[in-house]
Amino acid sequence: MSRYRGAKLRITRRLGELPGLTQKISANKQRPGQHGKTVKKSTEYGLRLEEKQKLKFNYGLTESQLYKYIKEARRRKGVTGLLLLQLLEMRLDTICFSLGLTPTIASARQLVNHGHILINGKKVDIPSFQCRKDDIISLRSKNNSEVLVKNNLINKRFTNIPSHLEFNEAKIEGKIKDFCRREDILLDLNELLVVEYYSRR
């Protein structure tokens, strides 16, 4: 299945606020669809599926990409749910979004794809690139890159930079100090339900 390119507010009405997907807030609060007004009791499977969908839509992943991250998190030592979130938060597009360079993760993916981002002085145009501790993220010295990002920094929604990142606004340069902590993640999610969803695969 390819990446979702449909109506974003429809997704947020169903799953709740997804900071990485869109800045917009729908005036209509009921769930989408013909039966949106009726409240149905969710099954255990339904709850797990919704949490998985939140993660998938927020980070803009395909089903196969998310499953690869789950397998990688299981392979590593530690709490699988936290490791999964740390892997997703260390993606280059997510780091650009967390630094405030773009309003959403989708626009961060475009910024990276178009070659505007440097890591340790080298151009990287792969949004899923896994950043590491002490990596320095900066902009290419092009006028259009700077104008675009400065506009985003002026209008950014989240004023607080996560504790695992450091940002120099004058140089438009960020540094990764460590892996993210659970409380730094903006998404309202129960990651254990996501791990349980994939436990039979």
Shared-domain flag, residues 69 and 82: yes
Q: Is the pLDDT reported for residue 75 higher than 90?
A: yes
Give the residue carrying structure tokens 């597009």: 93
- The range of the structural domain enclosing residue 159 comes to 91-178
Give the range among 15-24, 75-84, 96-105, 163-172 with minimum mean pLDDT: 15-24
Domain count, the chain: 2
In a domain, 3, yes or no: no
Segment 111-131 shows an average pLDDT of: 91
Give the pTM.
Answer: 0.84
Q: Is 102 in the same domain as 40?
A: no
Q: Model confidence over 50-71: pLDDT tens digits?
A: 999 989 988 989 999 999 999 9
pLDDT band for position 169 (cuts 50, 70, 90): confident
CATH code for the domain in which residue 172 is found: 3.10.290.10
33 within some domain = yes
Average pLDDT, the chain: 84
81 shares a domain with 30: yes
